[in-house]
Structure 1
Amino acid sequence: MTIPDELRDIVAQHQIRNRLVGLARGEDRRDATLVRAAFWPDATTDFGIFAGSFDEYLAWVVPGAAAVPVTQHLLGQTLIELDDDIALAETHVSAYHRVDYGTEHRDILLGGRYLDTFQQRDDEWRILQRTMLYDWTQDLGTAADWSQGLMGAPFSGDHFTGTTTHDHSVAFFGRITAS
């Protein structure tokens, strides 16, 4: 069966956006399987503060810096231009990083755009090259002390705050695969 061009493009865009979302989760949870699923093995990256092959990038982002115990990447709109088996995508990102400076934890925000070249191989879209553009950054100051709860109210359990590894979302999604 031949898929009409418009439907093929919609499916491609959906697959590309799913890769981007999976990658953001993989980076936030330091999950090598999710990160690996978003890139071709021969991919390259350039973040300005780090550039290298996919293997070098994976070794940099997973396990990540011990000084960054929490990250969260929020993806905005993605512009995708398709051309046969190549797609160019620009995705807006706002990222939060809790950074341990040794004497205190600080909350850092940054905003920018991922410029990704995707390639389709065997009906699968993955990133072939990623470049990060930075538009802004903001140091929010000393991070909140979660051990005191939220707004003066203590948490009823220890699973309410996120961490880069082994936070409650792992168990949450594990319910589906455990069934």
Structure 2
Amino acid sequence: MEIAATPLQAMLDREAIRDCLARLARGEDRRDADLIRACCWPDGSTDYGVFAGDFDAYLAWVVPGADAILCTQHLLGQSVIDLEGDAARVETQVQSYHRIDMGDAQRDVMIGGRYLDLFERREGQWRIARRTMLYDWVQDIGVSADWSQGVMGMAFSAPHFTGRANGDHSVRFFARETD
């Protein structure tokens, strides 16, 4: 059931929620505690099935992340957003990529699922109060590509073109320190 002051306010609320979701995915991919903290209420909780806990435990789990997970990327799909005053129930489709160092080789794994998020607006700001992850599928793609060889047989002209969880080129880009 939709409860909003005006259609314009409902549109603005939905956009703020989508922006929060995108920033949280970026924070998780870059293991950026400040960005994650800005998207979740400190008294919140998460349940990923493989991890469940309060916000502090979640932050300690996701930042710095597992050393074996060298790179992640979360692709967000459509979100169904049911506004209920200062709360919203949100289901967001997600596909995540993980490059995992298995010791003898790196492997690429894809996961598809949905986030079920309870958002709350406090003092005009939307953040996640509770998240549950539902898994729809997982696929082990196999041995990762060797990025030292570039892409499609063409070498990279500089090392910053490949993404990584910690300290990749996008950190400088958003800090406006690009070359």
Instruction: Sort the TM-score into its range (normalised by shorter chain).
Output: over 0.9
The separation in 2 between residues aligned to 1:136 and 1:117, in whole angstroms, is: 23
State percent identity of aligned pairs. Answer: 58
The separation in 2 between residues aligned to 1:146 and 1:6, in whole angstroms, is: 48
CA RMSD of aligned residues (A): 1.3
Per-residue CA deviation, residues 58-103 of structure 1 (Å, 9 max, x unaligned), is: 0000000010010000000000000111100000000000001111
Q: What is the one-letter code of the residue matched to 1:39?
A: C
Aligned position for 1:102: 103
Gaps of 5+ in 2: none
Aligned position for 1:42: 43
Aligned position for 1:154: 155
2:9 partner SS = helix
The separation in 1 between residues aligned to 2:107 and 2:21, in whole angstroms, is: 27
The separation in 2 between residues aligned to 1:158 and 1:115, in whole angstroms, is: 37
The separation in 2 between residues aligned to 1:26 and 1:175, in whole angstroms, is: 17
Gaps of 5+ in 1: none
Aligned position for 1:130: 131
The separation in 2 between residues aligned to 1:173 and 1:72, in whole angstroms, is: 17
The separation in 2 between residues aligned to 1:59 and 1:138, in whole angstroms, is: 27
Note the C-alpha offset of 1:106. 0.2
TM-score, length-normalised on structure 1?
A: 0.95
The separation in 2 between residues aligned to 1:84 and 1:149, in whole angstroms, is: 50
The separation in 2 between residues aligned to 1:27 and 1:12, in whole angstroms, is: 23
Aligned position for 1:117: 118
Q: What is the one-letter code of the residue matched to 1:170?
A: V
TM-score, length-normalised on structure 2?
A: 0.95
Aligned position for 1:9: 10
Report runs of 4+ in structure 1 exceeding 3 Å deviation. none
The separation in 2 between residues aligned to 1:148 and 1:164, in whole angstroms, is: 20
Pairs aligned (count): 175
